[in-house]
Amino acid sequence: MENLGMGFEIIAGAVVKLECNNTKKTMIQTATTDRNGKFLIEAHKNVSTYGAHKCKVFLFSAPHGLKRSNIHGGIKGATLRSEAHDLLGNPKYHLYTVLDLAFEPICPH
Ligand SMILES: *[C@@H]1O[C@H](CO)[C@@H](O)[C@H](O)[C@H]1NC(C)=O
Ligand SMILES: *[C@@H]1O[C@H](CO)[C@@H](O)[C@H](O)[C@H]1NC(C)=O
């Protein structure tokens, strides 16, 4: 998750979930955002057989009880976007990104 612009705050410590389906089973991996609001999930090596189009990234939880928003698919699932092939010169590594995901602001009452 990156800063969406003015009025948005970067969230560290939010948990995101990578979910991949194939015909047999669903594979789930999670990661926590760092202080820049970014995360990296190294998909299990089985994931290549699943196909990235069967993977989605979801918001799972945030610190301070923030509510998830569906901006860019945070709740319904964000589609992976291919970012780089042959990462580190290795054709086995492929980097995908998702658009910025967001939590709802806390409304003071
Ligand atoms: C990876 O694939 C192997 C062989 O098909 C299977 O036994 C194993 O359970 C799979 N692992 C995961 C995490 O899906
Ligand atoms: C994986 O399959 C389950 C069960 O059909 C479905 O609820 C879920 O949305 C699927 N996940 C993805 C990432 O397509």
Q: Among 22, 30, 46, name the best residue to mutate to test ligand 1's pocket (greatest count of ligand atoms within 8 A of Cβ).
A: 46
Residue type, 20: C
β-pairing verdict for 55-61 and 95-97: unpaired
Residue type, 52: A
Of 8, 78, 87, residue with least CA distance to 42: 87
Residues 42-73 pLDDT 10s: 988 877 766 888 999 999 999 888 999 999 99
Q: Is residue 106 part of a domain?
A: no
Atom of ligand 2 nearest to the CA of 55: 13
Q: Is residue 109 part of a domain?
A: no
- Region of 65 please: left (phi>0), alpha (psi -120 to 50) or beta: left
Q: Is residue 105 part of a domain?
A: no
Residue nearest to atom 5 of ligand 1 (CA): 46
C-alpha of residue 86 to centroid of ligand 1, in Å? 23
Q: Is residue 104 part of a domain?
A: no
Model pTM greater than 0.85? no
Residue position matching structure tokens 């009452």: 109
Atom of ligand 1 nearest to the CA of 45: 1
Q: Is residue 86 part of a domain?
A: yes
Q: Is residue 72 part of a domain?
A: yes
Q: Is residue 93 part of a domain?
A: yes
Pull the structure tokens for residue 55: 């993977």
Residue position matching structure tokens 């990661």: 31
Residue nearest to atom 4 of ligand 1 (CA): 46
Confidence tier at 1 by pLDDT (50, 70, 90): very low
Contact residues of ligand 2, CB 6 A cut-off: 19, 21, 26, 54-56, 77
The number of domains in the chain is 1
Q: Which domain holds residue 76?
A: 12-40+50-99
Residue type, 6: M
Of 88, 98, 72, residue with least CA distance to 18: 98
Q: Is residue 1 part of a domain?
A: no
With beta carbons less than 8 A apart as the criterion, state whether 28 and 19 touch: yes
